[in-house]
Amino acid sequence: MRFYRSLLVAAFASIVFATQTFAAVTIGAPAPDFSLTDSNGRTQTLSQYKGKTIVLEWNNPGCPFVRKHYASGNIPAQQTAATAAGVVWLTINSSASGKQGDIDMAGAKAFVTQYHAAPSAYLFDRDGKVARLYAAKTTPHMFVIDGTGTLRYMGGIDSIASADQEDIAKATQYVPQALAELKSGKPVSVTTSQPYGCSVKYGP
């Protein structure tokens, strides 16, 4: 049953993404800069964190795959560990107005509080410009950028594409793995993987 559910998710995603125009982001190339407003009304840019390792996490509070990783504590724990080590963690919501996951500033703060999350900032991208810039396809969809501004990882949050919390302990957690390798000066061993989850809720 789980296998067929994953196939359905992938099939639906392929239909949705066929209608979207995406930029090409490449491992080993500079990560595109952007400017977005956060849940406190402040402008955040990627370039303001020059010299820092950065994680980008695409988020949709209504997505069951997102809820899996938040309700279990998996993403909040990763955020806490990463930010404690000096990593900047930017959670991005690209749900268009009126679509699943579309929340306001108060809703974003409530979401973060509910799950004891610890992103550096929660950002809004309702027109989907940044999501298209990074070819974000699912929630979650993860990107890791090193201190030189170079993209080092993009893909799924882990290696088991399911909405079941019990699979988390059995899966390879790609972001902590990449962050540990970068910190130790090693090359990132897994640079890309297949993202899974709900499709990003782009507007027209």
The predicted-structure confidence for 2-20, as pLDDT tens digits, reads as follows 433 443 444 344 334 434 5
Query: 74-84 vs 64-71: helix axis angle to the nearest 10?
Result: 60
Is residue 200 within 8 A of residue 58, CB to CB? The reply is: yes
What pLDDT band is residue 149 in, cutting at 50, 70 and 90?
very high
Residue 24 has a pLDDT of 72
State the Cα–Cα distance between residues 34 and 59, nearest whole angstrom.
Answer: 17
Residue 19 has a pLDDT of 41
- pLDDT tens sequence across 186-199: 999 999 999 999 99
State the fold for domain 2-199: Glutaredoxin (3.40.30)
Q: N- to C-terminal Cα distance for the chain?
A: 33
